[in-house]
Amino acid sequence: MRSFVMQLFSHNASRGTPASGPVGEMVGISIVLLALLILFSSLSDRFFTGATFSSIAFQLPELGLLALAMLIPLLSGGLNLAITFSANISALAMAWVIGWLGGTDAGMTGILLGMLAAILSGALIGWMLGAIVAYTGAHPILASLAMMIFLRGLGEFLTRGGSISGFPEELAYLGQGVLAGIPIPLLIFGLCAAIWALILNRTRLGFSIYMLGSNTAATRYSGISTRRTLTMVYVLSGVMCGIAGIIMASRFNSVRVGHGEAYLLITVLACFLGRVDPFGGFGRVAPVVMALIILQVISSGLNLLGTNQHLATALWGGILLAVMVVRYLWAKFSSRRKASG
C-alpha cells in the first residue's frame, strides 16, 4: 500500500517509470477500485447489482473516449479544452449527412457516410488547432480555449440553440445495443484504448509524443519534426472526439452542442488520477482506463445514495485539488527524507 501511495502522489515519479513498474502501478489502482466497491456495497444494497454495472458499462465509453482525446495532448505537454465541443460539432456533421440522405430512412449507407463525416470533421478541427499551436507558438490552453468558444458559438448559431434528432434505428443500436452480453459502446471504447496504447508504445509517432512532452528543445535537436508531431497530436485528439460524438449521438438519439459539457473536468481528472504527468512526457493508457472506472463507480455510487448532482460535480473538482495538494506535500516529504538520509 505504501508503494502505491508513493506512486500516486510522488511528483518525481511522474517524470519517469514508477519504482514498482507497470504491474505495481495497476495493482495499486485496483486496490482503490476494490475498496470503493466494498464501500458502496456496504452503503447501498442496490449497488452490487447487474443493473448498476450495466449502467456503468453504458456510461463509461463516452467519457472514456473523451479522456483518450485529452490524453495525447497532455502527454505532449499541451491540453485540449475543446474536446466536448469538437465531439458535438462532429456529431452535427454526421446528423446533417444522415438528414441529407433521408433521415430515418437513410439506412446503413447514410449512417456510414455520416460516421465518416463525423470523424473527418473531428480530424479537421484537430488539424486547425494543432496547426495554430505548432506554427504560431500559441499556448495550447489559450488556443484550445479559443477553439472551444468558436465551436460553441458556431454550433449554437447553426442549431439555433436546439437539438437535432431523427436518426435511423440502426444508429441507436450502436449506442444502446449489446453484442455477446457486452455493450457495443464499451467494445468500441476498448478497441480505441487498445489502438491508443499501440500508437503510444509501438510507433515512432508515440515515441515522438513522449519526447515532445519531456523536452521540446531536445526533441527538435534530435531530428524529429516537432511541428508535424504536434499537429498530429491534435489531429488524433480530434479523431477520437469524432468517435465520441458518434457514440453520444447514438446514445441520446439526438445531437446538441451542449451535450457532455461537464465531461471536460472529469477527463482531466481521470488523466491526472491515472498518473499522467500534467507537464507531459509520462503516462499510459491502462492506468487512465482504471481511473475512469473508479470515477464512474464513484458517480454511480453517489447517484444511488441520492447525492445532488451539483454536489457530485463539486466533488470532482475537490478530488482534483486534493490530489494536487497531496502530491506536493508528498514530494516535499520525499525530498526531505532523501536529504536527511
Spatial distance between the Cα atoms of 244 and 196, rounded to a whole number of angstroms: 14
pTM: 0.87
Given a contact cutoff of 8 angstroms between Cβ atoms, the answer to whether 155 and 148 are in contact is: no
pLDDT value at position 10? 42
pLDDT value at position 198? 97
Buried b (16+ CB within 10 A) or exposed e, 282-293: bbbbebbbbbbb
Q: Phi/psi of residue 165, each to 5°?
A: -135, -170
Cβ-Cβ contacts under 8 Å for 315 (sequence gap 6 or more): 298, 302
- Report which residue type is found at 297: V
Pairing of strands 178-179, 182-183: antiparallel
Q: Mean pLDDT in runs of 10 for the chain (341 residues)? A: 39 41 68 86 85 88 96 95 96 94 87 96 97 95 96 92 86 89 94 97 94 87 90 97 95 87 88 88 92 89 80 75 74 76 61
